Amino acid sequence: YDQFNADNQLLLKKYPAEVLANIYCRYQDFLIKDLEFGFGIYDILGTHHQFIQPYNSGHAPLPDRSREFIVKFAYQF
């Protein structure tokens, strides 16, 4: 629901609930001892999350990052 004042300015706006889904997989001792390989996907469902201000700041919600793909290699000396 949206609430407006007498000058027809938006005071409150209700935002729907969102589902954020992330996945990350990691393999240790990958091909070589002490080598680590990992990959992941963040925001799998493409919700385009927004950070809503908890107070009346006068500006729109701030956007978060979109879908992100991660590939990681690490070696432990």
Cβ contact 62:50 at 8 Å = yes
Cβ contact 44:23 at 8 Å = yes
Cβ contact 75:35 at 8 Å = yes
- Measuring CA to CA, which residue among 67, 71, 73, 68 is closest to residue 39? 71
pLDDT tens for each residue of 28-68: 987 888 899 999 999 999 888 888 877 777 777 888 888 99
pLDDT of residue 11: 67
The mean pLDDT of 12-16, rounded to a whole number, is 76
- Asked whether the predicted pLDDT for residue 3 surpasses 90, the reply is no
Helix, strand, coil shares of the chain, percent, nearest 5, are 0, 45, 55
pLDDT of residue 4: 72
- Measuring CA to CA, which residue among 2, 8, 38, 3 is closest to residue 23? 38
State pTM to two decimals: 0.63
